[in-house]
Amino acid sequence: MTENSVALTDTVCVRVLRRSDAGPLADAYLRNREHLAPWEPLRFEEFFTAGGQAASIESKLGLFIAGTDVPWVLVEGPRVIGVINLSGIVRGPFLSAHLGYWVDKDMTGRGIGSAAVEFALQTARNELGLHRLQASTLPHNAASQRILKRAGFEEIGLAAQYLRIAGSWQDHILFQRILF
């Protein structure tokens, strides 16, 4: 898989996460702390620091090397403005992964999320040979559901108390996209 940047829009690119992203990623999470809080797990203060992100990056790169995750960052120049990842990649007869992403609060509504999801779909199919991607959203996350549906994901059910988000176990709508 290529580690080079791929243009998503005139100003935004996607590339594999790097160790040098710790500072810019910490800045992005800090800048988007309130924006992301309803959609993510509770975070320790250390998470919002370059040191906390450096530790997270090491973990993610280990999973990348193992072939179970692909962590990408969305960048505009030197700024990280979002992330997209494939996690829990399973080979064998399943050939599946879970898709997750977020876009900077100041960049929403510009088609960046849709372009990033389309990039992940193409990479999952063409480079990783995956058959299926799954994604989940909180029931009230209409924006993310629109992105997934535009990308051809279909709703496959409701998972009760699926993930611990914002401090409590919350239901999620499950989506899938069959790639081939």
Distance CA 7, CA 40 (A): 27
Calculate helix-pair angle for 142-150, 112-126, nearest 10 degrees.
50
- CA distances to 5, 29, 158, 170, 179 from 136, rounded to whole Å, are 26, 21, 9, 11, 17
pLDDT in tens, 56-84: 999 999 999 999 999 999 999 999 999 99
Q: CATH code for 6-132? A: 3.40.630.30
What phi, psi does 91 have (nearest 5°)? -95, -160
**Tens of pLDDT along 10-54?**
999 999 999 999 999 999 999 999 999 999 999 999 999 999 999
Distance CA 89, CA 47 (A): 24
For residue 135, give both structure tokens.
């994604």
